[in-house]
A and B are shown apart, each in its own frame.
Chain A
């Protein structure tokens, strides 16, 4: 029983990481109805930047963390302006393929710069157990949860309290009306990409201490983030968070209690995606869109 509780808690922590990347996906999806397949690879790229800052520039982890978030934000904005904007109004299929192009390109560039050798990445939290009642909790897991909660709070405040956050919501929901109110909708999309890229970078920097740092490290995470986003409803911010935690717990249990479950976790992700889409396509928190053929 204790071991089950411990698995659930560590699942929640990993789920927080999935939730962050899922959140990044949702931000882009809300802005332009496209799942950004490159989100994970962009996060990997960002994580490598923080790695370089820590290892070569000898900057403290948390300072590197902040600098990386800022760089990632800029990167997201630039990518949207330079590579996504030219395809404005193109069919979804085209945009999807563009993000897949970004996926391969980012993967290649990361490998080009940092190589394919696995690197260990020391995060901001010590990896040591603390005893709590009969439970052994990991400071790392608790730290991850803390960072994710702070990030969620900041995003919530941004979207409800600031002018730019409100304008981003308005622009993604009602681009035409927003334009008439003086909102530069194109820049709001770029801002969305920037935010998504920054949020994704956080997920990368949180997961890298748990797994090893390598150019392909986010691919499985991306699949779980997709699973989380689909489960929660791909347009719902709350759904991404709840979905992420649920997927985190599920994968922790699959990995522990099913023989050889580590290998099968990705397949479970696939199964969850397919089942959710068949049973409740809008996800847990999504609005059902009426689109019958």
Chain B
């Protein structure tokens, strides 16, 4: 059974509806990519999962119905959402950001988690007391992932980690995402506009179009499919 399952999820911002019945599943231990054009509903889908948008439909996580839970309760189940814009706590230091990441953990941030996170991001110890807003865009993205990992999440929701970053930084970030997935067994659902890099990392992908899943399949299938490639992936 899938770790996360959405079935017939509708969502709206005031009078404007953004999702018209999205259904998808994310298997435990997988990296799944959510692709699509601007305004297709990718971000909204993540927000529906973390309960930060008004929605109807069924969302289950590890067998629990989470569709009616408050965002903070969803987080407490082990779903770490790195939102659009990275959610950096800009006025706080790097270390305080990490402590906030471990907020839901009993006893707060542990040495073990901190060392593990520093294993992925070796620059962190030296910059521990730097104010987060003064980090570069790439560093802020990495800090956002590091902060999410401090929670020891079972599911990591990433909203466009490549946004506004240099290609080389994007490569590094996706390398880390794969490492996190393999070493720490964290399931990842990643929203991307940059379809080619997302498909390299993901085993499975869904393509959204106007608030609905238009195509889905393994990354290999989607990369091979000429029509899909042209109309949805743009290369």
Contacts of A180 in B (CB 8 A): 50, 52, 71, 75, 80-81, 83, 87
Contact status A176-B83, CB under 8 Å: yes
Taking CB atoms, residues of chain A closer than 8 Å to B99 are: 163, 166
Does A181 contact B104, Cβ atoms closer than 8 Å?
yes
Q: Does A280 contact B (CB under 8 A)?
A: no
Is A234 in contact with chain B by the CB < 8 A criterion? Answer: no
Question: Chain B contact residues: over half helix, strand or loop, or mixed?
Answer: loop
Q: A169-B92, A173-B91 are in contact. Are A181 and B100 (CB under 8 A)?
A: yes
Asked whether any CB of chain B lies closer than 8 Å to the CB of A183, the reply is yes
Asked if B131 lies at the interface with its beta carbon under 8 angstroms from chain A, I say no
Question: What residues of B have a CB within 8 angstroms of the CB of A169 in the complex?
Answer: 92
Total number of A-B contacts with CB less than 8 angstroms? 61
B52 and A183 form a contact (CB under 8 A) = no
Which of under 10, 10 to 19, 20 to 34, or 35 or more describes the interface residues of A? 10 to 19
User: With the chains together, A179 CA to B69 CA distance in Å?
Assistant: 12
By the criterion CB–CB under 8 Å, are B87 and A182 in contact?
A: no
Contact of A181 with B92 in the complex, beta carbons under 8 Å: no
Chain B residues 88-102 with CB under 8 Å of chain A are 88-92, 96, 99-101
Encode contact with B along A174-190: 1 for CB under 8 Å, 0 otherwise.
10111111111100000
Q: Are A181 and B108 in contact (CB under 8 A)?
A: no
Interface residue? A147 (CB, 8 A): no
Whether A170 sits at the interface, judged by CB under 8 Å, is yes
By size class, the interface of chain B is 20 to 34
Q: Collect the chain A residues with CB atoms within 8 Å of residue B147's CB.
A: 181
Interface centre among A167, A173, A182, A184 (most CB of B within 10 A): A182
**B121 on the A face (CB < 8 A):** no
Residue of A nearest to B85 (CB): A177
Q: Are B52 and A182 in contact (CB under 8 A)?
A: no
A170-B100 CB under 8 A given contacts A176-B87, A180-B50: yes
Contact A177 B71 (CB under 8 A): no
A163–B50 CA distance with the chains assembled, in angstroms: 23
Q: CA of A167 to CA of B75 in the docked complex: distance in angstroms?
A: 15
Q: How far does the Cβ of A216 sit from chain B's closest Cβ, in whole Å?
A: 38
Docked CA distance A181–B147 (Å): 9
Which A residues are CB-close (under 8 A) to B80? Answer: 180
Chain B nearest Cβ from A21, distance in angstroms: 25
B72 at interface (Cβ–Cβ under 8 A)? yes
With the chains together, A181 CA to B70 CA distance in Å? Answer: 12
**A177 to B83 Cα, complex, angstroms:** 8
Pick from B75, B92, B96: contact of A182, CB under 8 Å: B75
Write out the residue numbers on chain A whose beta carbons fall within 8 Å of the beta carbon of B52. Answer: 176, 179-180
Sorted nearest first, the 5 A-B pairs with minimum C-beta distance are A182-B104, A177-B87, A182-B75, A179-B71, A180-B81
Not counting A167-B103, A170-B96, a sample of 20 additional A-B residue pairs whose C-beta atoms are within 8 angstroms of each other reads A163-B108, A166-B99, A166-B100, A167-B100, A170-B100, A173-B92, A174-B89, A176-B83, A179-B71, A180-B50, A180-B71, A180-B75, A180-B81, A180-B83, A180-B87, A181-B101, A181-B151, A183-B72, A183-B103, A184-B72
